Structure 1
């Protein structure tokens, strides 16, 4: 059971109900936030109690109550633990994408299918929209507007026509 050293600092007495509640609250928050199991929660409770015991030599009754002191210790402890756990989850190794094999072959097939679809789309598209559709792959809307000498709003309307044609072609 978590405890606090006595005034001499050489033995532990049980923590107050308030301190136990503070520990439980912070441990519950961390375990829920990071999806930890019950065993990890128990270890966190013991770590929090140990941190309070290590910090008690700094406690000064003239500065504040023991509950205020332990709340500050637990605030710092829980913040450090959350940072540690978030760094651990952020730095987990990622699974590399396969460069060969069935998944990579599927990617190549998908790219080839898209190119064929684009070729078919451009072949069937009205002739006034084809240059715009081709420029969209390499230029921004602003660059296209400057290149063709039209206002960007006009280019946007033409892009909507290209999209409508593509949606009609592929959905129908």
Structure 2
């Protein structure tokens, strides 16, 4: 029998515990109706289904780009390569033009594509699900590309290299 509890964990303790989960790093991009590019860095990313091909990403409700993603018809998930730490940091920050000097191009569907990612998943927004202080975006993947390389990994609040020590 399950017992109900009213105890809640503090956000700081929850964040500290989750820092022990190693994850890949993604940058998620979209383009709004006015033609403005938007993006954010996310480690909260997962595949959901193979058939149909579905993925999810989580976006903070307070993010400057929230409205763009909340109303977009699609988005692109860029699985970052080990040498893309600067890009991850730029898209995690507020303020500066995140796309400046990035070599962004547009997909046939009109979504912003960043060069250098290990893989890109171009998605149609399938569903938006409220999840506490985040919005869970579920996308159906309609186009994918990939290349060889090492991933950018985030663990205990910093980036790590998976290359074995020699």
Q: Hey, which of these two has a bigger chunk of strand by percent? A: 2
Q: Hey, which of these two has a bigger chunk of helix by percent? A: 1
TM-score by length of 2: 0.20
Specify which structure has the bigger relative contact order, considering alpha-carbon pairs within 8 angstroms and separated by 6 or more residues.
2
